[in-house]
Amino acid sequence: MAVNVPLCVTDARDIRERGAELQRAWCESVLQDDHPPDDTAAFQRWLEAYQVQRRAFVLAGWAEAVSPDVRRRARLIALGSLARGEDLPQSDLDFALLTSADLRLDDAAPDVERFVRFMGPMGFSPCMGNVMGANPRWFGPEDAWMARVQKYAEFPDWANVRYLYMTVDAAPLEDAPQWALVAAQVRGVVAQSRFMKWQMAHLGIRGTVGWGAVRGVRWQASGDGAVFHVKDRFLAPMIHALRLLSLHHGVDALASVDRATSLGRIGALEGLRADAVVRALWFGWRLRARRHAECWLKGQRDAVDLVPRSSLSRAWQEALEEHLRTAQALERLVCRRFPKPRGSR
């Protein structure tokens, strides 16, 4: 069946009045896709259009829920999947705020909290890790951001290093030229540190792909039968690995597909084909988007990344196995490439 991609709505008033209705239309649309598991052309068109809609949702919420005074003194910075252009129907709302020096968090917090609540009906769950602008870690003027990055670099425990990697995947949704300086400092700090690259490879990626040579797909037991965590056990390790390799090789792209293509072009994927990595990403996003949409339409807001084995045909299960092998090959590549530096503890 052809996928009827909804028209993107950008008017803030329309979004305020029809946000949940628009979200429903996008969820119903992606579930029209009944192509075979590796025929992702229709889904790619849907996802590209949906990124425009997601950004419009965010900007409308910012305009509707936040006072003109706070908007004048704060710039909205997308983090994670929204920054990379990979947002799905129930992706978390991850964002930072780059502010003027005279804006205090206590003054901005009520507006930011209204913004977060406004986004709920459109499929934006508050980030469980509190990677949001009301958290002082993700709020402040340029000099505070630069000092924060330097502090993380000077004490690179795994928590601080994770914050640095999160800050790499960021994109201003409004005019914010100062952010380029913050972004350059973060990329430089990580790219020059063998220790931080080892940490991501071995503490953040190693052992996370849900595939085993003997047992195959690592299904988890649940009350409703076996399930698979499509984000943590498939997509996240690939996205983290591509970001790590991109930092190491000086690839500036944000989107994971662009990173994979660029890395393949310069031979940085060794024996792993870039097109295999790209196909795995599209399959994983499609599988996750379908699960998100199904859960949204049922009113389910938790366990949205747990795909039941019973919901997958044999063809989908075989495709999952194929692409998990690619994800595991990428995992092994970064673990080989970034060994623990001598003398580090």
pLDDT at 222 over 90: no
To the nearest 10 degrees (0 to 180), the angle between helices 274-297 and 41-65 is 60
pLDDT at 310: 96
pLDDT at 213: 77
Checking DSSP bridges between strand 125-126 and strand 92-93, what pairing results, if any?
parallel
Average pLDDT of the residues in 126-155: 95
Do residues 162 and 204 touch, judged by C-beta distance below 8 A?
A: yes
Asked if residue 343 has pLDDT above 80, the reply is no
Rounded Cα distance between 259 and 275, Å, is: 12
Cα-based distances in Å from 155 to 98, 116, 146:
23, 31, 15
Q: What is the pLDDT of residue 197?
A: 98
pLDDT tens, residue by residue, 239-273:
999 999 999 999 999 999 999 999 999 999 998 99
- In sequence order, what are the residues at sequence separation of 6 or more whose Cβ sits closer than 8 angstroms to the Cβ of residue 213? none
Query: How does pLDDT run across 280-332, given as a tens digit for each residue?
Result: 999 999 999 999 999 999 999 999 999 999 999 999 999 999 999 999 999 99
244, amino acid identity: L
Percent of the chain with pLDDT over 70: 99
Given a cut of 80, is residue 2 above it in pLDDT? no
- Give how far Cα 82 sits from Cα of 94, 254, 278, 289, Å: 8, 10, 18, 14
Instruction: Cite the DSSP H helix spans in the chain.
Output: 12-30, 41-65, 68-73, 80-84, 105-119, 142-154, 158-168, 179-191, 194-199, 236-249, 256-265, 274-297, 314-337
pLDDT at 84 over 90: yes
Confidence check: pLDDT of 1 > 70: no
**Is pLDDT at 110 greater than 60 in this prediction?**
yes
Instruction: Tell me the mean pLDDT in the region 48-65.
Output: 97
